[in-house]
Amino acid sequence: MASVEIRNLRKKFGSVWAVDGVDLTIRDGEFLVLLGPSGCGKTTLLRSIAGLERPSAGEILIGGQRVDEDVPPRHRGIAMVFQSYALYPHRTVFENIAFPLRAAHAPRRNIEEKVRWAAGVFGISAYLDRYPRQLSGGERQRVALCRALVRDPKVLLLDEPLANLDAKLRNTARDELKRFQRQIGTTTVYVTHDQIEAMGLGDRVAIMDRGKVRQLGTPQRVYEDPDDTFVATFVGQPPMNLLRLCDGAGPPGTLLGFRPEHFLPRAVLRAAEDARSFRFHVRRVEYLGSDRYLYGTLPDQCDPSPTFIAKLPATIGTPVLEGEAYEFAVPVRALCYFDSTSGLRRRG
């Protein structure tokens, strides 16, 4: 186990800065998630840590040792699992897991012990004689993780390892992966564009956009207290509503943000609760079992054209019909203010 320090890291491809001045410290034993849209630089950052990309500038330290200049991947104490798993189809599960140990000329007895231990951790001991084609997607993913684990890595790097699994299996795999990481305590860096994975797995989440880290914090922190409009609208499903305030309706040059689950019929809020009210014209209602999503407009505002979303749990039985207008409100405590030019959060 080891900490990872990234200091002013930059990586340029042609005229594009894929990673642009990233400063990040990943604590010893931490599960850190790099979250962002495609092309934001998260995989390039992961590959730079692994030694598969050479940075254009900056420093990378693993366990206090600088590795970005002349330390090859095999000597960095890392193991990496890719989205494709990269299993050898002509080798058994046992042989796939044992491959890095045999490449390192480990004693045969140690190989046997480590492979069976890792297979036991992930519950695939019964599959050691099978070939990858005889396994499900989830079982192949476990084999890839076992192969990484037997190397005793200081840092485990995971590049969207659950992306090829179906939704139900992905939920199970998330639970197994988090349990495994807590069990062995290996410092883990996980790349994904799926915010559900990020929020469910990470001790902390680094939100990336255009090569930069826009916010770093716990899942609760980045969701409830976003630093800018990018984080506010990227994290959360549905995303945060943003309303351009009319002159005199609030601080000048400001966007007002509020989460859909805080945008509720005024009648269901406590009478004494301080709240900001809006006339909400409902255009469409989606029934999703435990929740209803209401899509509509705020016709009394100076910019009435954007679509706003309210998320009502099934426990709120207030009838809401398409084509009708209702009084909705947001508790003042749940309002966020952002600068309309820079997008940065206005605090205080």
Residue 180: predicted pLDDT: 82
Q: Cβ(97)–Cβ(146) under 8 Å?
A: yes
State the average pLDDT over residues 183-208.
93
Return d(Cα 141, Cα 229) in angstroms, integer: 35
Residue 85: predicted pLDDT: 78
Residue 103: predicted pLDDT: 87
Residue 292: predicted pLDDT: 94
Q: Are residues 187 and 245 in the same domain?
A: no
Residue 330 has pLDDT above 80, yes or no: yes
Cis peptide leading into residue 238 (ω within 30°): yes
Lowest-pLDDT choice from 84-88, 152-156, 163-167 = 163-167
Q: Are residues 318 and 206 in the same domain?
A: no
Buried b (16+ CB within 10 A) or exposed e, 94-113: bbbbbbbbeeeebeeeebee
State the average pLDDT over residues 255-265.
95
Q: What is the pLDDT of residues 197-253, one digit of tens each?
A: 999 999 999 999 999 999 999 999 999 999 999 999 999 989 999 998 875 666 667
Return d(Cα 249, Cα 302) in angstroms, integer: 10
Q: Are residues 227 and 254 in the same domain?
A: no
State the average pLDDT over residues 298-305.
78
Q: Are residues 110 and 145 in the same domain?
A: yes
Residue 151 has pLDDT above 90, yes or no: no
3-class state of residue 322 by DSSP? coil
Kindly report the CATH number assigned to the domain that includes residue 136: 3.40.50.300
Residue 14 has pLDDT above 80, yes or no: yes
Q: Are residues 320 and 289 in the same domain?
A: yes
Residue 249: predicted pLDDT: 61
Residue 305 has pLDDT above 90, yes or no: no
Which class for 144: exposed (0-12), middle (13-18), buried (19 or more C-beta within 10 A)? buried
How many domains does the chain divide into? 2
Residue 247: predicted pLDDT: 59
Check: pTM over 0.85? Answer yes or no: yes
Q: Are residues 305 and 271 in the same domain?
A: yes
E runs forming strands in 100-173: 155-159
Residue 304 has pLDDT above 70, yes or no: no
Residue 1 has pLDDT above 80, yes or no: no
Domain that holds residue 340: 239-346
**Helices 93-103 and 137-149, interaxial angle, to 10°?**
20
Residue whose C-alpha is closest to residue 135's, from 202, 87, 102? 87
Kindly report the CATH number assigned to the domain that includes residue 332: 2.40.50.140
- Last residue within a domain, chosen from 186, 214, 232: 232
State the average pLDDT over residues 99-116.
90
Q: Cβ(174)–Cβ(97) under 8 Å?
A: no
Q: Are residues 313 and 253 in the same domain?
A: yes
Residue 277: predicted pLDDT: 93
Q: Are residues 172 and 68 in the same domain?
A: yes
- Last residue within a domain, chosen from 169, 201, 232: 232
Q: Are residues 166 and 35 in the same domain?
A: yes
State the average pLDDT over residues 10-36.
96
Residue partners of 130: CB distance under 8 A and separation at least 6: 92, 93
Q: Are residues 244 and 227 in the same domain?
A: no
Q: Are residues 104 and 215 in the same domain?
A: yes
State the average pLDDT over residues 116-145.
89
Q: Cβ(142)–Cβ(165) under 8 Å?
A: no
Torsion of CA 271, 277, 283, 287, to 10 degrees: -40
Lowest-pLDDT choice from 179-183, 277-281, 334-338 = 179-183
Residue 31: predicted pLDDT: 96
> How far is residue 220 CA from its own chain's centroid?
12
HSE at residue 157, side-chain half, CA atoms within 13 A, is 21
Residue 138 has pLDDT above 90, yes or no: no
Q: Are residues 96 and 189 in the same domain?
A: yes
The pLDDT > 90 percentage for the chain reads 67
DSSP H stretches of helix in 163-228 = 167-184, 195-201, 219-224
- Last residue within a domain, chosen from 232, 261, 296: 232
3-class SS letters over 59-71: EEEECCEECCCCC
